[in-house]
Amino acid sequence: MNAISYNFAYLDEQTKREIRRALLKALAIPGHQVPFASREMPLARGWGTGGMQVTAAVIGRDDVLKVIDQGADDTTNAVSIRQFFGRVAGVRTTTRTEEATLIQTRHRIPETPLRPGQIMVYQVPQPEPLWRLEPSRAETRRLHALAEYGIMHVKLYEDIARHGRITLAYDYPVLVHGRYVMSPSPIPAFDNPKLHRSPAIHLFGAGREKRIYAVPPYTDVVSLAFEDHPFRPWKAEAACALCGSTDTYLDEIVIDDRGTRRYVCSDTDWCERRRAQGRPV
């Protein structure tokens, strides 16, 4: 049987070159959204096509790839993207955070601290942090050009006026290198501090919206807040039911029809290894 053969990592070289140029510009202007062509991928837009294109442009034969979906290595999106690159690039894959050189992620940053030499690739549904406040892209480009982020601060202020606190739990806007307000992708606000002066490279790809942006290592990434209402990320007040962890981000699982809940680590690799080290509840 003759299998259809693709170029290494699926994308053609011309497309990779365009993405590579966008990535270098994105690193040079931290937090600024760089437009790119965004090709059709063999899955629907909204399922991680931006992240996959970034991964395809970056990945090499020696890379070890980890893919997570909300922290888990074993959910559909993570499994199929990992298998995809196993097939079209023939790279080694892993679930271990510290073994990976390239980590494609949907909506989480691993609990295991990242190190130099690792590249994070984020799947981004909506790269424009101002989109709920200003529907026109021509206008948001202008606001970014002028560093005019008043509407975002007013939104956060109105949250406090109405609810007593900033109500954003995920996709919490950050100020990068003191210049651009950026969407950190829908990671929980709990993960935002991990971006600040991280030793790893962080690349963001939005396929449907055709934008690439980046945070270089050791770059200031500050979650927006007010002096009298400091940034306070939300986390369930519970311990992981599997490993007993109290300092990780927890998923809430409803386990019966009377509303009983359990909390377990969202990062499956971290939780599994903690249990393997004999630290169960």
The residues binding other proteins (CB under 8 A) are 7-8, 13-14, 16-18, 20-30, 32, 34-35, 57-61, 116, 119, 141-142, 144-146, 177, 179-180, 197, 199, 201, 216-220
Alpha helices in the chain (DSSP H): 13-28, 49-58, 76-88, 137-146, 150-163, 192-195, 268-276
Beta carbons within 10 angstroms of residue 37's beta carbon: 11
Query: Taking a C-beta distance cutoff of 8 angstroms, is the pair 24, 17 a contact?
Result: no
**CA 78: distance to chain centroid?**
13
Q: How far is the CB of 37 from other proteins (least distance, A)?
A: 10
- Of the two residues 17 and 279, which places its CB atom closer to other proteins in the complex? 17
Residue whose tokens read 């490279």: 201
What is the rounded distance in angstroms from the CA atom of residue 158 to the CA atom of residue 154? Answer: 6
- Of the two residues 86 and 216, which places its CB atom closer to other proteins in the complex? 216
What is the rounded distance in angstroms from the CA atom of residue 150 to the CA atom of residue 172? Answer: 16
In what helix (H) or strand (E) does residue 122 lie, and over which residues does it extend? Answer: strand 119-123
Q: Which residues are catalytic?
A: 31, 240, 243, 265, 271
Q: How far is the CB of 144 from other proteins (least distance, A)?
A: 7
- Of the two residues 42 and 178, which places its CB atom closer to other proteins in the complex? 178
Hey, what amino acid is at 185? S
- Of the two residues 36 and 172, which places its CB atom closer to other proteins in the complex? 36
Q: How far is the CB of 130 from other proteins (least distance, A)?
A: 14
Q: How far is the CB of 17 from other proteins (least distance, A)?
A: 5
Query: Taking a C-beta distance cutoff of 8 angstroms, is the pair 233, 188 a contact?
Result: yes
3-class state of residue 188 by DSSP: strand
